[in-house]
Amino acid sequence: MSSTSTTGTDWTRRSAAELADALAAGEVTSVELTQAHLDRIAAVDGDADAGVHAFLHVDAEGALEQARASDARRAAGEPASYLDGVPIAVKDVMTTTGLPTTCGSKMLEGWVPPYDSTVVAKLKAAGLPILGKTNMDEFAMGSSTEHSAYGPTRNPWDLTRIPGGSGGGSAAAVAAFEAPLAIGTDTGGSIRQPGAVTGTVGVKPTYGGVSRHGLVALANSLDQAGPVTRTVLDSALLHELIGGHDPLDSTSISEAVPALVDAARQGASGDVSGLRVGVITELRGGEGWQPGVLARFDEALEALVAAGAEVVEVSCPNIVHAIAAYYLILPAECSSNLAKFDAMRYGLRVLPEGVESPSAEAVMRASRDAGFGDEVKRRIILGTYALSSGYYDAYYGQAQKLRTLISRDFTAAFEQVDVLVSPTAPTTAFALGEKLDDPLAMYAGDLATIPANLAGIPGISVPAGLADEDGLPVGFQVLAPALADDRVYRVGAAVEALLEKKWGHALWAQAPELTTRQGADA
Amino acid sequence: MSASTEDLMDFDAALERYDPALGLEVHVELNTATKMFCGCPATFGGEPNSQVCPTCLGLPGAMPAVNAKAVESAIRIGLALNCEIAEWCRFARKNYFYPDMPKNFQTSQYDEPIAFDGYLDVDVEGETFRVEIERAHMEEDTGKSTHVGGATGRIHGAEYSLVDYNRAGIPLIEIVTRPITGAGEKAPAVARAYVAQLRDLIVALGVSEARMDQGNLRADVNLSLAPKGSERLGTRSETKNVNSFRSVERAVRFEVSRHAARLEAGLSVVQETRHFHEDSGITTSGREKSDAEDYRYFPEPDLVPVAPSREWVEELRATLPENPTAKRARLQTTWGFTDLEMRDTVGAGAFGLVEQTVAAGAAPQAARKWWVAELARRAKDAGVELAEVGVTPAQVAEVQGLVDAGTINDKLARQVFDGLLAGEGTPAEIVEARGLAIVSDDGALGAAVDNAIAANPDVAQKIRDGKHAAAGALIGAVMKEMRGQADAGRVRELVLEKLA
Amino acid sequence: MPDTPPVLTRDQVAHLADLARIDLSDDELDHLAPQLSVILESVAAIQGVAGDDVPPTSHPIPMTNVFREDVVRPGLTAEQALSGAPAAEQQRFSVPRILGDEQ
């Protein structure tokens, strides 16, 4: 709200809903909006060495062409949707015709899919110009975006810090005003945790609520695509647009998308009287929890109580095993999913050195060694082990049973309360490189987000302020029963409204200014 | 690879000392319009890589969706094999790397097959033998590789390979028997009869083209030997892709002799995959089964369980064709075949063909005669299954129709079959083009008779003297002049008339 | 399983990498094997938490019988199919010589 550009209004500082209204009112064209965001990207995104580096591919030409088509529709009085003409960024894990889809991996460098993911097809049908593809941990494996083969994304709040992961690119793009909207995917928190550490809003829908067709699978039974935005209302608008049953995804649910925009508007009134809020005992602090995170979380709780909510503590005892279960299920599924990257049909092909006329098998081995990074190899090998005969029951089988126990804990909890809440992540953004060679420490940061993926329930992370120790964003997570996505929007919007009222502004208004090529060593 | 030099024991001698245990795994390629998990056509023979989509090409992000018709066909096959149909079952991923498998896992079923615990009663030389079915499950086919370079176009020695994924994802049903023991010296015949009668059943269900030569039906033959009287099963070999009924029988015979020779020499049988060679009738070693073959099965997370309602199962049961054993008994009576004729018909693999030929209008005995004598001989000469000899039941019925109408006789009919096998058109077209029609026009015949009388005055005189038996010589001369295309009865009448 | 310590030896990691068709270098094996042991030890903690009576959850939202009608849908052209191929010839994917057997 503070910053303005030389031409007057800085369109990059507006919410998507505001942009849609401005488009509808004829105050601005989609070409102008799109150009403003492309300019912002050019100014602050930089590259692997400096800048935010939220984008792996920017499609200026394609986005402007879509923007022109949008303006033509609007001029003809036939906008394709409310968000027609509002630009968006898409995580590089979603297939896009005409745009590379690398999943942050060398394995897919330069691969241009011959088909659109269902989510992207819906965005195109609704008229949202696609600015480009955002950076991510390789094949979505990671919590910091440092595992991208193309260099890390940097947190716009502090360019020496991680933006969270795996969808650090989408969150950072939105936090740095490079895009008003972005698509993320959340397997163990990859939308919500980046949202928390970049001061943005991220939603993981109910499993099956958004089609996975064209989402390059990490762990099929956990993956969900969802919105990444700066406001809860924007997430609701985007979620309604991309959600719904898809016959191409057999695991997509047939239930209609709940009225999310209505829920967000209702929540924005700040009235939560009668709402029963459960604080998850196991995610309430302890070793590894940063005091500043807990302080902001408590303030948000107090705001809810002051607005009429009833807050109680609820135990979900089995979620202490969630990380272990997750790090068995995920590697198992991904070891199989990633087998297709074998240098035969697409992607990187590397010939082994010093071998004359190498066999297909030798080329597969050499290509997979060259094309995959360390984290991917770790998980593939762990998953191969977990699925091996003789180990299946002890590992994958046990992990699947734990999912049952965790789901039962949630079911029991939701008999007592309407929503469950916790801090989204135990700490604020850590320094780039800090946990890169300590996988367990990295995994531990996902403890609050993983349980929702295991149980398939929806969750939102909304900004809860800045931690006192480091001045970095903290996220407040709201979880609801499966299919009750509207509840996370209602409560998320209420928290957002109550805190903004308390602060007198949105959190992102406090975001530091980024200068062109900031962080460059030159 | 020195398998061709492997020692063999005489088959009969082997069976004096060992009991064979058979296991058969048959893959049936369904004739659905689309593939198992995507909407690509499942038809045979398109341009390379023209019947593919992101799903069957295994592109990143693409998801599978189960073909309802394939599930229906699987259930019908299961029911026809007297199986239980699972109330709840899942697809599973079978993980292994192979360039013609787009995802490097095959979506199959593992410990939860859609159908299990069934049987098929097969007729073997007049006896009924019950083959127990362990399971029938759904899975997808792989792509097809063409090997370039090297001497033979085979995989070994090739410089590189070219892959076409049109076949990848076509629905397959894999039918697995329990170990078949107690067949003794009839083991090869039981194996053959099982595959042949399973094929008949699949054809009757209408769920597959079921042509072995086209790979619609592929059999793997597992065999082990145990010392006579011993309870335990021996180490088994698995002979892959045996492509005809006759080859099934030969592969069993060969493996019995090979296993016996090894055991007799104090060698162990290696658990391995073997390949059958149609030309020589032998099997050669493929890859050894090892712990490297850890398929790491787990439930396919992109698909939800299949839970066929009992109502659906019963609806499908009502669509099943008649039980094959009952049907054979019924048709034997209807057709008026003797036991021997029936046994020969079934043994020649002609039962279904005769049935279809009769349905197309031919008399049962005529249909049997063509298939079991004439066409079976031709199939044997060509080294193919009778069903794949190149003549259809409808064509046989049409040929017999021409015989019945007096247009041709049996001898000429054989020439019509020559024409059919040479692809010269329909039977009627062949008769026309080859000028095979019997001449019954008295003008042409009369001239030929006059010529014969003129050329054989002595014979003519004998006939005038009342020695009608002498007419044969004149008739022969006329038939010769007419190149066989004359109605011999009419010729005789004309000769006698003219010399009365 | 629970009676053996959940540690992955270097040889086991090499075998698993072989199963997964990844040509790990000696350096990578040295580096990954201890990391994997630490991870495995940590995740192995779940063994025995859920009893035999607990059914596994493979899908968080239970559904059954999701089928597609047997109707042809347009797919890709051969050109599109081959667009990402590292090598192609005669409208087919060209792959290096295949070891082992015909499938």
Q: Considering the domain boundaries, does residue A364 fall inside one?
A: no
Closest by CA position to B133, among listed B146, B150, B121, B145: B121
Q: Considering the domain boundaries, does residue A365 fall inside one?
A: no
Q: Output the six-digit token pair for B254.
A: 């060969």
Closest by CA position to A308, among listed A263, A264, A275: A275
Q: Output the six-digit token pair for A175.
A: 């936090």
Q: Considering the domain boundaries, does residue A210 fall inside one?
A: yes
Entry pTM: 0.88
pLDDT at C37 over 70: yes
Predicted local confidence at residue B2, as pLDDT: 40
Pairing of strands B283-288, B217-227: unpaired
Output the CA–CA distances (angstroms, integers) from residue B310 to B75, B314, B431, in the order listed: 11, 6, 55
Please name the residues between 276 and 295 in chain B that touch chain A, using a CB distance below 8 Å. 294-295
Predicted local confidence at residue A4, as pLDDT: 40
Residue B54: its chain A contacts at CB < 8 A?
95, 113-115, 214
CA distance B317 to B332: 25
Architecture of domain C1-51: Orthogonal Bundle (1.10)
Q: Considering the domain boundaries, does residue A502 fall inside one?
A: yes
Strand partners, B276: B283
The active-site residue out of A15, A30, A70, A91 is: A91
Predicted local confidence at residue B4, as pLDDT: 45
Residue B304: its chain A contacts at CB < 8 A?
250-251
Q: Is residue A190 annotated as part of the catalytic site, yes or no?
A: yes
Strand partners, B463: none
**Which DSSP helix (H) or strand (E) runs through C26?**
helix C26-43
Q: How close does chain A come to B339, measured CA to CA in Å?
A: 52
Q: Tell me which of C55 and B126 has the higher pLDDT.
A: C55
Q: How close does chain B come to C67, measured CA to CA in Å?
A: 5
Q: Can you give the CATH number for the domain in which A211 is found?
A: 3.90.1300.10
Which of C18, C71, C72 to mutate against chain B (most B CBs within 10 Å)?
C72
Q: Tell me which of B343 and C16 has the higher pLDDT.
A: C16
- Whether residue B147 lies within 8 A of chain C, CB to CB, comes out as yes
Predicted local confidence at residue B386, as pLDDT: 87
Closest chain A residue to C39, measured at CA: A440
**Quick check: B104 and A113 CB within 8 A?**
no
Predicted local confidence at residue B405, as pLDDT: 87
Q: Considering the domain boundaries, does residue A394 fall inside one?
A: no
- The residue ranges of chain A whose pLDDT is under 70 are 1-8, 516-522
Q: Output the six-digit token pair for B265.
A: 């020499």
Q: Considering the domain boundaries, does residue A201 fall inside one?
A: yes
Predicted local confidence at residue A1, as pLDDT: 39
Output the CA–CA distances (angstroms, integers) from residue B137 to A462, B11, B76, B305, in the order listed: 48, 34, 12, 14
Q: Are B35 and B26 in contact (CB under 8 A)?
A: no
E strand residue ranges, A130-241: 130-134, 181-186, 201-204, 224-229
Sheet bearing B92-95, strands edge to edge: B105-108, B92-95, B298-299
Q: Are A177 and A15 in contact (CB under 8 A)?
A: no
Instruction: Write down the ipTM of this complex.
Output: 0.94
Strand partners, A224: A186
Side-chain-side CA neighbours of A102 within 13 Å: the count stands at 25
- Whether residue A384 lies within 8 A of chain B, CB to CB, comes out as yes
Q: Considering the domain boundaries, does residue A207 fall inside one?
A: yes
Pairing of strands A130-134, A201-204: unpaired
Predicted local confidence at residue A6, as pLDDT: 44
Q: How close does chain A come to C14, measured CA to CA in Å?
A: 9
Predicted local confidence at residue B258, as pLDDT: 95
What is the residue-level pLDDT of chain B in tens, covering all 500 positions? Answer: 344 457 899 999 999 999 999 999 999 999 999 999 999 999 977 999 999 999 999 999 999 999 999 999 999 999 999 999 999 999 999 999 999 999 999 999 999 999 999 999 998 887 889 999 999 999 999 999 999 987 666 677 789 999 999 999 999 999 999 999 999 999 999 999 999 999 989 998 999 999 888 889 999 999 999 999 887 878 999 998 898 898 999 999 999 999 999 999 989 898 889 999 988 889 998 866 554 578 999 999 999 999 999 999 999 999 998 877 788 889 999 999 998 899 889 888 899 899 999 999 999 999 999 999 899 999 888 888 888 888 999 999 999 999 998 888 888 899 999 999 998 999 999 998 888 888 767 777 888 888 888 888 888 888 888 888 888 888 888 888 888 788 888 888 888 888 87
Q: Is residue A357 annotated as part of the catalytic site, yes or no?
A: no
Predicted local confidence at residue A363, as pLDDT: 96
Q: Output the six-digit token pair for A89.
A: 């960024």
Output the CA–CA distances (angstroms, integers) from residue A38 to A41, A68, A180, A512, in the order listed: 5, 14, 12, 20
Residue C47: its chain A contacts at CB < 8 A?
394-395, 398
Q: Considering the domain boundaries, does residue A408 fall inside one?
A: yes
Residue B299: its chain C contacts at CB < 8 A?
58
Which of C91, C93, C94 to mutate against chain B (most B CBs within 10 Å)?
C93
What burial class does residue A286 get, using C-beta atoms within 10 Å of its C-beta: 0-12 exposed, 13-18 middle, 19+ buried?
exposed
**Tally of domains within chain A:** 1
Predicted local confidence at residue B291, as pLDDT: 46
Output the CA–CA distances (angstroms, integers) from residue A437 to A185, A266, A440, C32, in the order listed: 24, 45, 9, 11
Give the nearest partner residue to B161 out of C63, C76, C95, using CB atoms: C95
Q: Whose structure tokens read 């009627």? A: B428
Q: Is residue A91 annotated as part of the catalytic site, yes or no?
A: yes
- SS in 3 state form for B230-262? CCCCCCCEEEEEECCHHHHHHHHHHHHHHHHHH
Q: How close does chain A come to C84, measured CA to CA in Å?
A: 5
Predicted local confidence at residue B3, as pLDDT: 42
**Quick check: A361 and B298 CB within 8 A?**
no
Predicted local confidence at residue B48, as pLDDT: 97
Long-range (24+ apart) CB contacts under 8 A made by B324-330 are: B324/B121, B324/B197, B324/B200, B324/B201, B324/B204, B325/B121, B325/B123, B325/B128, B328/B123
CA distance A134 to A126: 20
Host domain of residue A181: 11-321+402-521
**Quick check: A440 and C81 CB within 8 A?**
no
